[in-house]
């Protein structure tokens, strides 16, 4: 299969060697009363992408891609949360572990830590609970991908400039081919989203490929003809 990209290149991949990453589509990031909103973020741009991410997720399932959902969060005793990170969250106005409208901010098992209803994982889909921004940090994601023979990754989720970008950069350093679907990612400040996308495209695609949901779905439609 091949997906046409913004710079005129094609992202060429085999479905059996490709995983769709749905990054951190959690209530704490996407919903009012969650960590991001209480810290001053505008959740409206994140809500805009929900229908597109759901459409891509369903298409990827039908295509047989391996589906990986990630969640950022910490143990209830905060033993896996560095003090510096906790202090930064305090400065932002939503200290990790503090009580919020959706439960303790970014704590595993709390209502806010879990996925938005529209993007609930199906049984058998991989869930990676991560204590950092990047999905490879202190997780077994790399080993699981390599054991399955995955070489190509397709990125959706939030926020573009933080957890999506951190995971994509980690993946590039590990030798994976990476495609970002830019209209299936978002940030509280969409200027930061645009800057993050430009970084991927710079230097002839230093961090991979950038395309859209429409082009991905078009590629699937051509395959089915």
d(CA 207, CA 136): 16
Active site residue 24: yes
138 a catalytic residue:
no
The pair of three-digit structure tokens given for residue 211, joined into one six-digit string = 């395309």
End-to-end CA distance of the chain: 13
Q: Distance (Å, rounded) from C-alpha 194 to C-alpha 152?
A: 23
Would you call 131 helix, strand, or coil by DSSP? coil
Would you state the torsion angle of the CA atoms of residues 14, 16, 17, 20, taken in this order, to the nearest 10 degrees?
A: 100
Give the active site residue among 5, 30, 81, 163. 163
CA distance 162 to 168: 10
Clarify whether 130 is annotated catalytic. yes
Which residue is catalytic, options 5, 31, 130, 185?
Answer: 130
Apex 56 CA angle, 51 and 192, nearest 5: 70
* Active site residue ranges: 24, 130, 163
């Amino acid at each position: 299969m091949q997906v046409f990209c913004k710079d005129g290149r094609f992202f060429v991949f085999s479905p059996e060697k490709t995983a769709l990453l749905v990054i951190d589509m959690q209530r704490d990031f996407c919903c009012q009363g969650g960590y991001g909103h209480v810290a001053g973020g505008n959740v409206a741009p994140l809500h805009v992408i929900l229908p597109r991410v759901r459409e891509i997720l369903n298409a990827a399932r039908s295509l047989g891609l391996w589906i990986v959902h990630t969640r950022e969060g910490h143990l209830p005793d905060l033993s896996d949360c560095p003090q510096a990170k906790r202090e930064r969250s305090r400065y932002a106005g939503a200290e990790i572990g503090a009580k919020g409208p959706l439960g303790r901010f970014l704590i595993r098992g709390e209502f806010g830590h879990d996925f938005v209803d529209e993007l609930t994982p199906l049984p058998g889909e991989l869930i990676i609970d991560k204590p950092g921004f990047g999905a490879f940090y202190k997780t077994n994601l790399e080993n699981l991908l390599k054991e399955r023979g995955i070489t190509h990754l397709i990125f959706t989720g939030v926020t573009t400039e933080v957890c999506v970008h951190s995971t994509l950069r980690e993946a590039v350093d590990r030798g994976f081919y990476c495609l970002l679907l830019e209209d299936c990612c978002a940030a509280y400040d969409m200027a930061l989203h645009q800057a993050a996308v430009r970084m991927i495209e710079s230097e002839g695609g230093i961090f991979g490929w950038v395309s859209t949901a429409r082009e991905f779905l078009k590629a699937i439609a051509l395959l089915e003809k």
